[in-house]
Structure 1
């Protein structure tokens, strides 16, 4: 191979950094899967090996599915995440369209407030949200898990950036055809922003599927618990944590997210980069 065909040092460095970063991110997941197929006696060994000497995966996964209502927890997660995503799109798309395509007083101020809201951790609002939920009488219901996330500053920002890349002539032509502003949003803008919708959907589902802090506050009924809160059933203060079934349950909870992301990764990347064109 000639010297001209060799990769430059900067490219080698970038690829090495990406490989190292990817390995560091994958290590906890590899460890989780490894612990999920090990017997209790091998979990706390000083030496680490991915494959156990005694395969204990069937026992751990069976216990994860039978000793707790894990399928119910995962169904709760599907219900909550689907409701949150549907309501977020219903709110964020029209708001983003208004910020991107309509001219009205204080538009820039409102967009600045959206950017400020992006900086606020959701945990800061936990106490006011709890008080509001108590006043509304929705604590310990599905509504308590959904209503704090209906308005997503990130969703408004992402859709707004993508809508900005759509030519104004498209909107003007739709108005000449007699479409209302809401019809333009749902019949033209959202279908054209499908990559952004998929990217936001992945962000939303992953975030709320893995959420533990707010569900720990909002619900007490085991039949309403989402997956991260439900798998805490394997925590036993007297006997200690049952790590094998716990890791098996965690693997089952994470697996759907990984499969969904791998299936939609092309649209995910396109949705994140599309708003950077303009």
Structure 2
């Protein structure tokens, strides 16, 4: 085969020299050229196909890499979108919280310490809420806890880094002080209104305000706020809205049912109210 190939190459070379400048080839020369061209096409086409196949594979590899990059970028975009939405929501929440604290500071000069809810008990006999602030953060027993919407409860236990909150929906439970079982309250913009929020009805989800004088101006739709008496609950904190007013058991005082303002099913962020001088604040 080697000899035949060498002979074929020599023959083609000799034929090329013999052609010279002739414009017309003899029929043997035409036959040899046509035969060699016919044979060459069977080698050239597969070689072209193979070369094209490798080129396509290389292009396919590039496309795969580009797709990988696009998938990574899409995943990063989805992640960044979620982070942006979370940051946006937190920013709006903090703006609302800041506006709330500034508004309240202008009224009563209270200090508000923001805290995150870490757990909330589902036990109907122990509805304790845990927050991520403790004695290291200046939290003390019987400090009031609120949200931007309304009153939540009182600090019932303080640990170094965490604290427990007794919600107002658990007023009938045992507490550190008997006075914390009752919330002195009044109707907003009605100075002569007065009553004591003493219990919470789990069947209706309403607070019960009793000991309301018979001629008290409180009415359905009024906003109930803490009155500041008894030096436990600072004045001016929103408790809820009056749902109805009815005559008490003995007919001498009235009783009101109140819808709590705070949403106890979705507590994530709360404020611990720090009163610089409770005696002065409740005058």
State the TM bucket, normalised to the shorter chain. under 0.3
- Structure with the larger helix share: 1
- Structure with the larger strand share: 2
Per the normalisation by structure 1, the TM-score is 0.24
Which structure's relative contact order is higher, taking Cα pairs within 8 Å and 6+ residues apart? Answer: 1
Per the normalisation by structure 2, the TM-score is 0.23
Larger Rg: 2
